[in-house]
Amino acid sequence: MRRIAISFLFLFSISSIGCIGALGVNLFPDSRDIELGKQIDAEIRHNTKEYPILTGHGELKEYVESIGRRILESPAVRKRGMYAYTFEIIHDDSTINAFCTPGGYIYVYTGLLRFLDNEATLAGVLGHEIAHAERRHATLRMSSALGLQALLSIALGENPGQLAQVSGNLFAGLGLLVNSRSDETEADTYSMTYLQTTPYYPGAIRYFFDKVSAGSAGGKGSTFQRLLSTHPLPHDRIDHVENLLKKMGNPQPTEGNLFEIRYQQMKNRLP
């Protein structure tokens, strides 16, 4: 009886404030992120028609991995010894996107690699995806989706299978990877924090935002449809990056921290 009372008290306090996920309360342990990441990675590798992993170009994969490894050396990255943090390239020039599963499986489309103009911007995008894994945005959304009735059932031990059901529903079609505006802003913040301890210009992701905005305004909205469905780009994200740069002392972009020449050389090797 005391256990029931405590459970109800906990749920009442949560419901009086609002959504569990919105409060940053994650009902899942890190092991769940790791498990989900493995499941999604296996699904992606099995679905070669929709997610054709680039093969036969090890130097390109090594190039992307080397950037990711530099970012993972940041002391602000807390789960590099826990999460997988692998990097793969999906051979699809029509898709300008990148995504990260729970547990740190990161995928970059060749369409994105062609779209970007310098290495620092790619580093900013990879840092952004790493931040989604580090901040556990996917399982936070799962916690939110459970709802109070399901949470009560789990708290009382009446329906432990509810967790698997919810994760399965969110997993369908990789809907688990759709980010909210607040997720995106937080990922931008952490990406720029990670890049401060690397050779890269920390505000380079702004170049990506500018090109996406210009492309969308120029009548190419369908080209960016998949990107914007998982990574919304309201103007306040751009303002947020500008404000962070000011707090960092307004570092200036140069060839020495953008690495545009090296990046163009990599683009010339894309299949």
Q: Does residue 248 lie in a domain region?
A: yes
In a domain, 14, yes or no: no
Answer yes or no: is pLDDT of 254 > 70. yes
12 domain residue, yes or no: no
* Token digits of residue 110: 């060749």
Q: Which residues face 108 on adjacent strands?
A: 89, 98
- Specify if 3 maps to a domain: no
Q: Which residues pair with 100 in a beta bridge?
A: 106
pLDDT in tens, 90-140: 999 999 999 999 999 999 999 999 999 999 999 999 999 999 999 999 888
d(C-alpha 64, C-alpha 198), whole Å:
15
Residue 67 falls inside a structural domain = yes
Range of the domain at 128: 26-267
Q: What percent of the chain has pLDDT over 90?
A: 58
Q: Which of 11, 37, 238 is nearest to 137 (CA)?
A: 37
Predicted pLDDT of residue 150: 59
Contact 71, 123 (CB under 8 A): yes
Say how many C-beta atoms besides its own lie within 10 A of residue 144's C-beta: 18
Please check the confidence at residue 8 and state whether its pLDDT lies above 50.
no
Name the range with the highest mean pLDDT among 19-23, 38-42, 161-165, 244-248: 244-248
pTM for the full model? 0.82
Helix, strand or coil for residue 233? coil
- Dihedral in degrees, nearest 10, Cα atoms 89, 94, 99, 101: -80
More confidently predicted of 253 and 26: 253
Q: Is residue 207 part of a domain?
A: yes
Instruction: Tell me what pLDDT residue 226 has.
Output: 59
- What is the number of domains present in the chain? 1
* Euclidean distance between the first and the last CA atom of the chain, given in angstroms as a whole number: 65
Q: Which residues of 153-187 are buried (b: 16+ CB within 10 A; e: fewer)?
A: bbbeeeeeebbeebbeebbeebebbbbeeebbbbb
Minimum mean pLDDT range among 92-101, 120-129, 204-213, 229-238 = 229-238
Mean predicted confidence (pLDDT) in 223-230? 61
Angle made by CA atoms 192, 198, 201, in degrees to the nearest 5: 55
Q: How confident is the model at residue 86 (pLDDT cuts 50, 70, 90)?
A: very high
Mean pLDDT score, 180-186: 88
Domain assignment of residue 5, yes or no: no
In a domain, 208, yes or no: yes
